[in-house]
Structure 1
């Protein structure tokens, strides 16, 4: 009985692998990571240049934590994560690393990012009920919506973990009316990304 079950699981995994290969999922992930690496690399280079030629990054972050109210910073981050993820989360993670309570603010950032994704999902779902806006959105986000229809939850997982715009994946999920409970479950992996990035960035700031 167990042998048949294992065989059926292997067959299903093989079929899924063939499907994702045929539909270009692996190619999409590879290209997306490649595209995301360039702005990340430029961001790191810019930080290094600022650190060595303009101002010590640690001093700048400490200045930010001392002069900018935490609620204001968190509010800006939430707005960014709710729309298109315009500001790299790494900036805010670095900010939290220099705050009085780094772990607390890192957890707050992860929670707000997750909540921002939910806002994007709801926006996408609401827009789907407005014909004119939906037609415009379907044209401007055609590729993302098409991919969401093909790969569903896996694309949400990729958006939650990898350096890709989570808000766009969430909005596309809302547009196609992807099951909300499943979206919430897959979106929880957003916390994993912030944990890993937090460990890396906090370590670099020491």
Structure 2
């Protein structure tokens, strides 16, 4: 008689990667605390130079990063929001950033729907796309959830979800976890800074 496993492969994948997301957050906190203790606020502001006060430039870089598979971790922009009141209160800024990220993911999901059979990128030999395509074929919705709450490239996985035929309503509901992630990470950073 075969022994029934307590958790199926998809659930183990989900739990394992959510825990990796918490590990990533812990590492981010340690780095943030080290920077905070070894560098003055003035020194930290100098790193950004004139970019720091240019809201249009910072937001443009964020939008481009989110559409182009999260080249810059969103936590960088959360830290920027923590130190500037240029686009409203901290949590208003986080709300705006999270909605932009959500919409960037949906944009890529929609592109994936239309590009699934036509795109050389989706069907080519790019190692990163191929890796996530295999993971999406194996884990489907679970991979989208993991991408929402962890450092995995959310927009790239959204593109693959669209190309892979994931139901649009399911995608839109599950990807709301992206907004939750932004607020959880932002809250933690806010409490550390306070």
TM-score where L is the length of structure 2: 0.77
Runs of 4+ residues deviating >3 angstroms: 17-20, 31-40, 43-55, 63-67, 131-134, 137-140
| Aligned residue number for residue 128 of structure 1 | 116
Within 2, Cα distance between the matches of 1:163 and 1:138?
A: 20
2:12 to 26, 31, 47: 26
Which residue pairs with 1:115 in the alignment?
103
CA distance in 2, matches of 1:115, 1:92: 16
Deviations 1:17-47 (A, max 9, x none): 96962x4651475268549846972x55554
| Greater per-residue helix proportion | 1
- Secondary structure of the structure 2 residue equivalent to 1:84: coil
Provide the C-alpha distance between the structure 2 equivalents of 1:78 and 1:92, rounded to a whole number of angstroms: 11
| Bigger Rg, which one | 1
Aligned counterpart, 2:131: 143
CA contact (8 A) 2:147 2:157 kept: yes
Alpha carbons 1:156, 1:187 under 8 Å: kept: yes
Structure 1 unaligned runs (5+)? 1-16
Aligned to 2:158: 170
Structure 1 residues 131 and 118, CA gap change in structure 2 (3 angstroms):
closer
Q: Secondary structure at the match of 1:141?
A: helix
Deviations 1:51-106 (A, max 9, x none): 34444379629x77994222221221111111121211111111112222212211
Q: 1:154 aligns with which of 142, 152, 155?
A: 142
Structure 2: any 5+ residue segments left out of the alignment? none
Q: Verify the 8 A CA contact 1:117 1:166 in the aligned structure 2.
A: yes
